[in-house]
Chain A
Amino acid sequence: MEVILEVKNLSKKFGGFEALKGVNLSVKKGTIHALIGPNGAGKTTLLNIINGLESPTEGEIFFEGKKINHLSVEKRAQLGLGRTFQLLEIFGDLTVLENIKVALFAKSSWGLLKSFFLGKSFNPFERELEKEAFSLLQIVGLSHKALELAKNLPAGEQKLLEICRALALKPKLLLLDEPAAGLNTRETKELGLILTQIKKNLDVTILIVEHDMELVMRISDVITVLNFGEVLSEGTPLQIQKDSKVIKAYLGEEL
């Protein structure tokens, strides 16, 4: 299978603290690849470096075979790297629909002056955006809330909105940072279904950081375990569940 993201020998130091030590990771196209590990293992730091919010101290990142170390966050997004955040970053003062329209808009060439001179009713582009945004909202089951302000949604739906907004980018690789945190069991189950659907139907590869082991084991194709900034183990859910090193890292020496 084709590799979409390759991280080679990645290190990150914050002053004297080494958050990542020589991490190698390769994500195959069309998979859901989970990144797990105890708190402080460096999972979010790794996502931030892949997506460009932080730069590595050492190491290289390849996206579809192209080195992207020097590219800005915006450029990486344009290449097809979408992401969501652990602490929500939705546009709370906009409606649900507008959140998605803004994301779709980013890919268009519709400029300031056209928006200034042409009213909405003379503007076929706005209607197209609306249609497309609606069909994206249907994927995550939020179309019935399209006209509500995003900040008024319950937390679970805000998470889905953020995922949907990232999808508007038509990403090739989606980085999800703890999408199930704060969700109840039913919502987590739904999220799992939605993510598998996204993988299958939209041809999106997903790299997910997640603490909910039940979800991770159910949806992932490959799991990488990070501990103290190093890759501890990698394999299928079954292999990882049986890996003694992983059990030790999670549950302590006694076992």
Chain B
Amino acid sequence: MKNFLNPYLGSFFLCSALILIGILSGDPYLMTVLTFAGLNALSALSLSLLMGLAGQISLGHNGFYGLGAYLSAIFFLHLKIPVILSILLSAGIASLFSIFLAIPALRLKGHYLAVATLAFGEIVYLLLNEWGPGGPSGFGNIPRISLGSFVLSSSQAYLILIWSLFFIFFVFSLNLSKSTYGKTLKALHNSEIALKTLGINLFTLKLKIFALSAFITALSGALYAHYVTFLSPATFSVFYSILILMMVMIGGLHNLWGAILGALFITFLPEILRVFKEYDILIYGTILTLGLLFFRKGLVYPFERLIYGSYSGSKKSQ
């Protein structure tokens, strides 16, 4: 039982279970929704590192998601770079963009940082509309992921790929949150002045975690491009940033597990609510509002209480 509670093993079991449920069901619809949940979970994880761990808000992650998706597709279509390379390259470039954004923006805090990143996301969205292939209506024929002559084409393959990648990044993120580097990021919430007097350069500390977060979101965007094989700017509006923000908040901001729980909940919720026909969006909104009002600590909190007891949850979870 003790081993099962280990977060590394726990996340391994959860990711494997999601893959197995999808494949064993044989239901292409369920597999698709699960795959999207995995992509969302990856983006939510990146935001959880930035917001939950380091306490820096971003409403511009749609920009990185879009850059990752568009750049990877364009690199392959126009420069004929192998897909795997183009995915990594696009995530790297998006991460570079995040540094250009962060240099002025990270001097701001709270609401001001939120607005600055929001503006960045909006600029990327407008540029994709103006300059992206196909303009507002987008473009297709983006190739599937392949290695040499081996092409990933089935829904099963993508389900496995996305959740495996998520698992790998989740493990890395757990490493970070448990490391002293992670504790230093957490200390940003308590006292920036104390960190300064310990000789820590706050600006580079924030800059690095911002770039890492952008990299992971862009990676998620690039995977999205090669999974869906069709891109249009509408996917990359600010709504996406708000969506993953909702995921980490509903899931629980203080714990990385919140990213998985929130992503699964918010990806599946609209699908489940379809039975309510035209009232679905009303019920969706009501559930999210009530969730934010009454479950401040997120979906992860009841699990923390169950595992660690009533009061020490937040201490041991990260």
Contact = CB atoms under 8 A, between A and B. Distances in A.
Interface of A: 51, 53, 72-75, 77-78, 82-83, 85, 89-95, 98-99, 101-107, 110-112, 115-120, 123, 126, 129, 149, 165-166, 168-169
Interface stretch (B35-43, B106-114, B179-187, B222-230): B179-187
Given A73-B197, A102-B184, A116-B212, 7 more contacts: A77-B196, A102-B195, A103-B198, A115-B175, A115-B182, A116-B176, A126-B180
Contacts of B197: 51, 73, 77, 82-83, 89, 166
A91 B175 contact: no
A73 B196 contact: yes
Nearest to B192: A89
Contact of A92 (B171, B182, B184, B190): B190
Given A77-B197, A94-B187, A106-B198, A120 B181 contact: no
Q: Is the interface of B mostly helix, strand, loop or mixed?
A: helix
Contacts of A149: 315
B248 interface: no
A116 B174 CA distance: 8
Interface residues of B, number: 34
Given A115-B179, A116-B172, A129-B180, A106 B199 contact: yes
A118 B179 CA distance: 9
B191 A89 contact: yes
25 contacts: A51-B197, A73-B196, A77-B196, A77-B197, A82-B197, A89-B193, A89-B197, A91-B191, A91-B194, A93-B186, A98-B183, A101-B183, A105-B180, A105-B183, A106-B195, A110-B180, A115-B176, A116-B172, A116-B176, A118-B175, A119-B175, A120-B179, A123-B179, A126-B179, A168-B198
A102 B187 contact: yes
B175 A102 contact: no
B179 A165 contact: no
Nearest to A118: B175
Given A98-B183, A149-B315, A77 B198 contact: yes
A174 B30 CA distance: 62
A99 B208 CA distance: 21
Contacts of A123: 179
Given A112-B209, A117-B175, A78 B199 contact: yes
Contacts of B314: 93
A102 B186 CA distance: 10
